[in-house]
Amino acid sequence: MKHFTLTLLFFAVLSRMVVNAQCSTGAATPGSIFFNTTVAGAASGWTQPQNAMTSDGVYSTVTLTVGILATATTNYLTATGFGFAIPAAATICGVTVTVQHKRIDLALGAIVDNSVKLVSGGSIGGTEHANSTDWPMTETTVTYGGAADTWGLSLTPSIVNNANFGVGVSATLTGGPLIALLLEAGIDYISMAITYTNTPLAITLQGFSAARQNNTNVLNWTATSNDQGDRFVVQRSGDSKNWQDLATIPAQPDNMQYSYIDDNPLSGNNYYRLYLLNQDAQGSYSAIQEISQETIGISCYPNPVVSTINVSSPAPIHNVVLRDLQGRTIQSKSPGAPSNTLQMPAGNLPPGIYLLQVDGALFKVLKQ
């Protein structure tokens, strides 16, 4: 049985508005990976965490019976995978998080923030940003942080560009004065914007991705250049510390799309970055892209598909997203518990070609 792979680059377009002479803010970007992170003593987790990926009135919810005047906390609904591409030479000025949430039940009692913190290096931390305002019965957008707020963390472009950078939101549910209550909270959407300083170079990288394709690793990037002397140096590392030059590719003013195929990747994890070198010898580094062993061996079948796409992986699957060829999300799914397999319904899809993203691997799927 053949499994087809296709590398597709999804770019977050950084439309900027000026905050002051030094800092500019990128467009608010939604997370792409959602999951529960345990809070000590928490009574319940969020169902369907991936529902917070899109502002569509479909909620990730938590439901809990709370005793008279008692309180209970939820796990963090954690959002990561924002896909930032902040230039390596930039300085991070602040982080702004927006959350669309509401209270769904009609009982007495109250629902408020328990904790709102950033996820950096895979761990929740930094300054607490929870507030004491009751979650209303109608959906409300709440903003945390700001253009000059780094949440008490030393943030760098490599940190915020990493797929494990994000935010966690936990709620406190308080019972009423007379009887135990069934309380329900919902989160519809979580997005984030980064404010940063940057001195623009003649060559501008707009997006960079790396993905496994058969026995090779394929790099794709989009960039603009004003000078014939600009060039890209493709670098690889096995530990993200010691780097080797693989190729130098000249930049062309009339070309935006570039690619490079690593025919002999390392046996372990492979890390890739681009060194953007201008005609005047000024340079900067791109964000680091990783192809880990976990993405090797992932498969989807049957292909072509009729009714159900089956996904299997040697490592637990975190998130599966199905998109059309224009990059629009059709559906997404995450296992409710750690699992190496997952099924996604496809019977209602019109015939055609679709793109299936399984964590760090991308597949082209033909629907009959």
Q: Point out the domain boundary residue: 135, 162, 197.
A: 197
Q: Mean per-residue pLDDT for 239-262? A: 88
280 with 306, same domain: the answer is: no
Q: How far apart are CA 18 and CA 78, in angstroms?
A: 29
In DSSP notation, 33-94 reads: EEEEEPPTT--B--BSGGGGGS-SS--EEEEEEE-TT-EEEBPEEEEE-------TT-EEEE
Q: Which pLDDT tens digit goes with each residue over 150-187?
A: 999 999 999 999 999 999 999 999 887 777 678 899 99
Q: How far apart are CA 211 and CA 170, in angstroms?
A: 33
pTM metric for this prediction:
0.52
Q: Is residue 5 part of a domain?
A: no
Classified as helix, coil or strand, 160 is helix
- pLDDT band (50, 70, 90) for residue 20: very low
Largest CA distance in the chain: 75
Q: Is residue 11 part of a domain?
A: no
Q: Point out the domain boundary residue: 270, 291, 312.
A: 291
Q: How far apart are CA 102 and CA 343, in angstroms?
A: 30
Domain that holds residue 302: 294-367
- Provide the percentage of residues in the chain whose pLDDT is more than 90: 44
Sign of CA dihedral 45, 51, 139, 17: positive
41 with 177, same domain: the answer is: yes
